[in-house]
Amino acid sequence: MFLLLPSLSSEDQLHLEEWKEARNVLSKFDDRLNDLRKYGFSLITVLFTADSILIPISIGSTPALPPLAKLAVLGATLLLIVALRSLETFYTLFQRVAALRARVIERSLNIELTDWITDEFAFQKAWRYASWLYYFFEGGILILGLAILPLPLLILLVIAALGEGLYFMKRLKPVLITAKWDWTLGKLHYTQGEKLRVTFENLTTEQVVFGPNELWWEVQPIAGPPSLYKSPTDQSIVVGDNNNYVWEWIIPKGTNGVFQIIVNTKVRGLLESTHLRRKIFIVPELYVSESSRP
């Protein structure tokens, strides 16, 4: 017995290719993060071993290093930790953006890979494990400073370590994508009579309710108004958490040229109007038929 699977439409083929690229970006930056932590943490461990030589003793005729030199070495180690954490945050940003885009595409393709990974990652709060390591390194520097620094310089080191910890929590905390929703076009090239599909994606974990005249989109010429089409606004629209709402509009005959899509959302009485980055290109059906002849 053979099961015939339906072939993907041209729109779904494009989305599938974009999804593969998003997953490829995730894989690349995951490898970079692993290498960064592997070599970076190894370097910090080596520095800790070297810092242990700073214990205030004299070896033969060689006197112990002065306190300021010890503080400088420990401070340099703190700076290295900041640099590693900054680079990790930079890589994580790319990962989270790619994961968000992959999740949006998966909903149109009925794929749930990234959703499952994201949900499990959030449930286990896995991002905390890497963050704790940086705090442990800071704690190790403070313990070492307690053994080799006089009280005034130790106080300076503690202040620097606390400042670094606050910097981690405020500026270098795990990057959270704050986008509430996303708009997606089915494709960019159309002929007269085809359906233009516009999708509104709710990226939050809460249901979103829009009243009449609070959520709509328009098709406008590049030169600006008047609009060629405006989606209906006379009814309320309810979009569930991590769900979407889809409009379809049949492009009328006599329409051709390049058009822009303007999306509008009204939240708490404030209207947000945005031009989508991508434009759509509409040509007459006759033009397509003639251009496809051998």
Interval 89-132: pLDDT, tens: 888 888 888 888 888 888 777 777 877 777 766 666 666 677 77
User: 202 and 163: one domain?
Assistant: no
User: 136 and 25: one domain?
Assistant: yes
Model confidence at 289, pLDDT cuts 50, 70, 90, reads very low
Predicted local confidence at residue 63, as pLDDT? 61
Residue 1 maps to a domain: no
> Of 110, 143, 170, which closes a domain?
170
What is the rounded distance in angstroms from the CA atom of residue 81 to the CA atom of residue 34? Answer: 16
Residue 117 maps to a domain: yes
The one-character DSSP state at 227 is: P
**CA dihedral for 67, 68, 72, 78, sign (positive or negative):** positive
Residue 235 maps to a domain: yes
Joined tokens for residue 224: 């600006």
Number of residues in the chain: 294
Which residues, other chains included, contact 232 with Cβ-Cβ below 8 Å and sequence gap of 6+?
Answer: 216
User: 24 and 121: one domain?
Assistant: yes
- Compute CA 127 distance to the chain's CA centroid, rounded to the nearest angstrom: 14
- Order of strands across the sheet with 229-230? 189-191, 270-283, 257-267, 215-221, 229-230
Residue 175 maps to a domain: no
User: 149 and 231: one domain?
Assistant: no
What is the rounded distance in angstroms from the CA atom of residue 260 to the CA atom of residue 262? Answer: 6
More confident residue, 47 or 64: 47
Asked if residues 172 and 85 have their Cβ atoms less than 8 Å apart, the reply is: yes
**Span of 65-69, 88-92, 135-139 with lowest mean pLDDT:** 65-69
Residue 4 maps to a domain: no
Question: Exposed/middle/buried for 133, CB within 10 Å: 0-12, 13-18, 19+?
Answer: middle
Predicted local confidence at residue 294, as pLDDT? 47
pLDDT, one tens digit per residue, over 180-231 is 788 888 788 888 888 888 888 887 778 888 888 888 889 988 877 788 888 8
Predicted local confidence at residue 162, as pLDDT? 82
Residue 2 maps to a domain: no
Predicted local confidence at residue 3, as pLDDT? 43
Which residues, other chains included, contact 100 with Cβ-Cβ below 8 Å and sequence gap of 6+?
Answer: 177, 179, 203
**Span of 11-20, 50-59, 94-103, 117-126 with lowest mean pLDDT:** 50-59
Res 77 pLDDT > 60? yes
Tell me the residue range of the domain where 270 lies: 181-291
| Mean pLDDT, the chain, integer | 78
Res 56 pLDDT > 60? no
Smallest CA-to-CA distance from 167 within 61, 86, 255 is with: 86
> Of 148, 170, 192, which closes a domain?
170
**Amino acid making up residue 174:** P
Residue 176 maps to a domain: no
Which residues, other chains included, contact 156 with Cβ-Cβ below 8 Å and sequence gap of 6+?
Answer: 71
